[in-house]
C-alpha cells in the first residue's frame, strides 16, 4: 500500500520544492516528439483512440443501468462511444463505502497513488491527445500539450499542494503544561485528516482534462471519493482518466469506486442532481457564469469551486518591440480560435494611437498591422488549422458570424478549409472596433474568436476601464504593453485592485493565455471570473478537516 508513495516520494518532493520557489519545473515533457515519447507512441496512441470508437467504454462501475453518449468531433465524425449510465444511489453508496480505508491510508499514501495515476495518464498522452482533439476541437499539438502533459502538471501540482496542506499539522503531539512545583500536565494528542465527503467534478468541453484535473486530484488526494461528470461533448478524455484511476486504486488495494464516471447525453440534468446530494461535499466546475452561480447558490452542503466567464483585457500604450507585440497578440487571439477562458477579448487603445520605435501608430494602422500579423502567423489553410483547431459548437460560430453587427470590423474573419476534415468549421479571429462608451458591446464575455479594439481617451482611462470591468465582470487574464514605468506601475495597481493576474510586455514565446503549473496561478479567486485559483492553499484547504483526540500520558 505504500509502494507508490515510496516510488514517487522524489517526484512529490520536487513538486513541493517547485511550488516553494515557483521557478520553472515540469514533470511531464510537453513535446510530442518521438525522441521523448518513443518512435511508436504516436501511432499506438492513435490506434488506442480509434479502438474506443463505436464501442461501449467499459468501466465495471456498480449501478450501471444503461449506456449513454453522443459525442461528435468538432472535426466532423461522430465518436460513437457509449458510457455507463449510473444509478446514482448505488454509485454514491459504493463511493462512500470505499472512503474509510482511503481516509485511514493518510496523505502520503494517497499522494503516491495519485502520482501513479497521473504517471499512467502521461503514458497514454497520445491516446489522450486524440480524444481531446476530437472532443474540444483543439489542434493536435495543442490537444497533446494542454490535454496531456500540461494537464498532468496541473494534476501533480494539485496533489502536491494537497499533500502540503494536509501535513501542516503533525500527526501526533506531546503537550506538556508546567504546573509550578508540581509535575507538569502531559497529554498525547493525535491529529487525523478526514475527508469532507464525495467530490463532484463537472467538466467542460474545451479543456476536458486541464480544467478537471486540479479539482479531481485535489479532492482525491485529500481523501474524498470523486465522481467525474464530463460535459456531454467531452466525455472520452475523462472516461480514459477514470479508467486509469480505477485501475491504479485497485492495484494499490483500495476501492476502485473512489473514482467514478457519470456520463449523460446532451440536455441531461445529472450535474444538478449530483450537486445537491447530501453525500456530495465538494464541487468543482468550469463553465458558464449562469451555471456556476446556480451551483454556488444551490450546492449549499458543499465547498464549491467555480471557474466562470470573464472579460480579459489588454491595455496598449507603447512598446519597444512593435513586431514582437503584434505577433504575440496575434498568437494569443488565434490559438484554439480564441476558445480559451484566458484569450484576450478587449484590446484597449488610446484614440490617438500607441507609441512604437517607428513612431505613433494610429488605431486604424494598428488594426491593419494586427490583421497582417494574424495573416502572417496563420499562413495557408493547412498550417492555419494547426493553430486554430476547430470551432467547438454552433454558439461560437454564431458569435463569429454575427460580430459584424457589433461595430466596425477592422480585421475580418476568414473561413479556413481543413485539408483532412472538410466538415470542420474553422474561422480566423475577427476584430471589431468599438468605442469605450459601448460597454454593452465589449463589457461581457464574447467567447470565441471575437476581439474588440476598444478606443479610449487615454491610457489612464484604459487602466480605469480595466479596473472597473474586471471588478464587475471578472477576468482570467490581463496584460499591458508600455515602455513607461509609470503606466506599468498603474497597470499593476489596477490589476491588484481588480484582482487579476497581469502580464507585462509579452513579445516573445510566452502568451497571456498560457499559465505554467508550479509557477503561474490560473485565475485568482479575487474577481468574479473564478472563486479560487489553480492551485493555492485555499483551493485544497476546504477539501479536508483535521480531527483530534487527546489523552493524558506519563
What single DSSP character describes residue 187? E
Surface-to-core class of residue 330, CB atoms within 10 Å of its CB (0-12 exposed, 13-18 middle, 19+ buried): buried
Nearer to a second copy, 183 or 412 (CB): 183
Q: What is the nearest approach in angstroms of a second copy to the Cβ of residue 502?
A: 4
Q: Distance between CA 140 and CA 385 in Å, rounded?
A: 10
| Cβ-count burial 449-461 (b if 16+ within 10 Å, e if not) | bbbbbbbbeebbe
DSSP assignment of 37-83, as one string?
H-TTHHHHHHHHHHHHTTSB-----TTEEEEE---B-TTS-B---BE
Q: Which is nearer to a second copy, 461 or 521 (CB)?
A: 521
Residue closer to a second copy, measured from CB, 290 or 420: 290
Cβ of residue 512: shortest distance to a second copy, in angstroms? 10
Instruction: Supply the minimum distance, in Å, between the C-beta of residue 61 and a second copy.
Output: 25
Question: Residue 178 CB, nearest distance to a second copy (Å)?
Answer: 8
Q: What does the alpha-carbon distance between residue 362 and residue 365 come to, in Å, rounded to a whole number?
A: 5
Considering the complex, state which of residue 209 and residue 482 has its C-beta at the smaller distance from a second copy: 482
Between 456 and 505, CB nearer to a second copy: 505
Farthest-apart Cα atoms in the chain, separation: 89
Q: What's the min distance (Å) between Cβ of 477 and a second copy?
A: 11
Of 434 and 532, CB closest to a second copy: 532
User: DSSP state, 232?
Assistant: T
To a second copy, the closest distance from the beta carbon of 505 in angstroms equals 6
For a second copy, give the closer residue by CB, 165 or 317: 165
In angstroms, what is the minimal distance from the CB of 347 to a second copy? Answer: 19
Closer residue to a second copy (CB): 248 or 533: 533
**Does residue 243 have a cis bond before it (omega within 30 degrees)?**
no
Q: Is the Cβ of residue 359 or residue 509 nearer to a second copy in the bound state? A: 509
Helix and strand element counts for the chain (H, E):
21, 21
Q: Are 542 and 223 in contact (CB under 8 A)?
A: no
Binding residues for a second copy, rule: CB under 8 A, are 20-24, 100, 103, 165, 168-170, 173-179, 185, 187, 189-192, 194, 196, 296-297, 300, 492, 495-497, 499-510, 516, 519-521, 524-526, 533, 536-538, 541-542, 545-552
Task: Please state the closest distance from residue 154 (CB atom) to a second copy, in A.
Answer: 16
- Cβ 147 vs Cβ 155: under 8 Å: no
Question: Do 466 and 440 form a contact (C-beta atoms < 8 A)?
Answer: no
Instruction: CB nearer to a second copy: give 375 or 520.
Output: 520
Take residue 519 and report the three cell numbers written for it.
Answer: 509557477
Closest CA to 59 of 251, 243, 234: 243
CB-based contact 480:504 (threshold 8 Å):
yes
Distance separating alpha carbons of residues 342 and 12, to the nearest angstrom: 28
Contact residues for 467 (Cβ-Cβ < 8 A; gap 6+): 494, 497, 498
Do 303 and 281 touch, CB atoms closer than 8 A? Answer: yes
| Residue 64 CB, nearest approach to a second copy (Å) | 28
**Partners of residue 86 on adjacent β-strands:** 64
Cβ-count burial 227-238 (b if 16+ within 10 Å, e if not): bbbbbbbbbbbb
- Least distance between a second copy and beta carbon 286 (Å): 18
For 180-286, strand residue ranges (E) read: 182-195, 198-202, 226-229, 259-261, 280-286
Compute the least distance from the CB of residue 520 to a second copy, in Å: 7
Q: Give the nearer residue to a second copy in terms of CB position, either 164 or 391.
A: 164
Closer Cβ to a second copy, 396 or 502, answer by number: 502
- With beta carbons less than 8 A apart as the criterion, state whether 441 and 434 touch: yes
The distance of closest approach from Cβ of residue 356 to a second copy in the complex, given in angstroms and rounded to an integer, is 18
Amino acid at each position: 500500500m505504500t509502494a507508490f508513495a515510496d516510488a514517487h516520494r522524489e517526484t512529490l518532493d520536487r513538486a513541493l520544492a517547485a511550488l516553494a520557489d515557483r521557478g520553472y519545473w515540469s514533470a511531464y515533457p510537453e513535446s510530442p516528439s518521438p525522441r521523448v515519447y518513443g518512435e511508436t507512441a504516436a501511432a499506438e496512441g492513435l490506434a488506442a483512440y480509434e479502438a474506443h470508437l463505436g464501442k461501449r467504454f467499459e468501466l465495471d462501475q456498480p449501478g450501471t443501468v444503461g449506456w449513454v453518449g453522443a459525442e461528435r468531433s468538432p472535426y466532423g465524425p461522430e465518436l460513437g462511444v457509449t458510457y455507463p449510465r449510473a444509478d446514482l444511489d448505488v454509485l454514491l453508496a459504493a463511493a462512500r463505502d470505499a472512503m474509510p480505508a482511503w481516509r485511514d491510508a493518510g496523505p502520503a499514501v494517497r499522494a503516491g497513488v495519485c502520482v501513479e495515476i497521473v504517471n499512467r495518464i502521461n503514458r497514454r498522452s497520445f491516446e489522450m491527445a486524440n480524444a481531446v482533439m476530437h472532443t474540444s476541437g483543439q489542434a493536435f499539438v495543442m490537444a497533446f500539450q494542454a490535454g496531456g502533459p500540461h494537464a498532468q502538471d496541473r494534476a501533480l501540482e494539485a496533489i502536491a499542494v494537497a499533500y502540503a496542506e494536509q501535513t501542516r499539522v503533525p500527526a501526533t503531539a506531546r503537550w506538556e503544561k508546567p504546573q509550578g512545583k508540581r509535575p507538569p500536565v502531559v497529554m498525547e494528542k493525535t491529529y487525523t485528516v478526514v475527508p469532507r465527503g464525495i467530490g463532484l467534478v463537472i467538466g467542460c468541453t474545451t479543456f476536458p482534462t486541464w480544467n478537471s484535473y486540479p479539482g479531481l486530484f485535489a479532492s482525491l488526494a485529500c481523501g474524498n471519493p470523486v465522481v467525474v461528470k464530463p460535459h456531454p461533448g467531452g466525455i472520452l478524455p475523462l472516461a480514459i482518466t477514470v479508467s486509469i484511476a480505477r485501475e491504479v486504486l485497485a492495484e494499490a488495494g483500495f476501492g476502485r469506486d473512489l473514482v467514478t464516471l457519470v456520463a449523460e447525453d446532451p440536455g441531461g440534468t445529472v450535474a444538478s442532481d449530483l450537486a445537491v446530494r447530501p453525500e456530495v461535499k465538494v464541487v468543482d466546475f468550469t463553465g458558464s457564469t449562469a451555471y456556476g452561480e446556480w451551483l454556488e447558490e444551490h450546492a449549499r452542503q458543499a465547498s464549491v469551486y467555480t471557474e466562470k466567464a470573464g472579460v480579459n483585457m489588454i491595455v496598449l500604450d507603447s512598446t519597444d518591440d512593435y513586431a514582437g507585440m503584434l505577433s504575440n497578440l496575434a498568437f494569443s487571439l488565434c490559438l484554439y480560435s480564441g476558445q480559451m477562458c484566458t484569450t484576450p477579448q478587449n484590446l484597449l487603445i488610446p484614440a490617438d494611437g500607441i507609441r512604437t520605435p517607428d513612431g505613433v501608430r494610429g488605431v486604424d494602422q494598428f488594426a491593419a498591422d494586427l490583421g497582417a500579423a494574424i495573416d502572417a502567423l496563420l499562413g495557408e489553410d493547412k498550417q492555419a488549422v494547426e493553430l486554430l483547431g476547430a470551432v467547438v459548437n454552433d454558439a461560437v460560430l454564431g458569435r463569429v458570424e454575427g460580430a459584424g453587427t457589433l461595430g466596425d470590423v477592422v480585421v475580418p474573419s476568414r473561413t479556413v478549409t481543413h485539408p483532412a476534415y472538410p466538415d470542420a468549421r474553422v474561422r480566423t479571429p475577427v476584430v471589431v472596433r468599438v468605442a469605450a462608451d459601448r460597454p454593452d458591446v465589449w463589457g461581457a464575455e464574447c467567447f470565441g474568436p471575437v476581439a474588440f479594439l476598444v478606443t479610449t481617451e487615454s491610457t489612464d482611462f484604459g487602466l480605469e476601464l480595466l479596473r472597473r470591468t474586471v471588478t464587475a465582470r471578472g477576468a482570467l487574464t490581463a496584460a499591458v504593453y508600455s515602455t513607461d514605468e509609470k503606466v506599468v506601475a498603474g497597470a499593476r495597481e489596477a490589476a491588484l485592485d481588480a484582482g487579476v493576474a497581469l502580464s507585462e510586455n509579452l513579445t516573445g514565446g510566452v502568451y497571456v493565455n498560457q499559465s505554467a503549473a508550479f509557477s503561474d496561478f490560473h485565475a485568482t479567486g479575487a474577481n468574479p471570473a473564478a472563486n479560487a485559483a489553480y492551485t493555492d492553499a485555499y483551493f485544497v484547504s476546504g477539501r479536508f478537516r483535521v480531527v483530534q483526540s487527546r489523552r493524558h500520558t506519563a
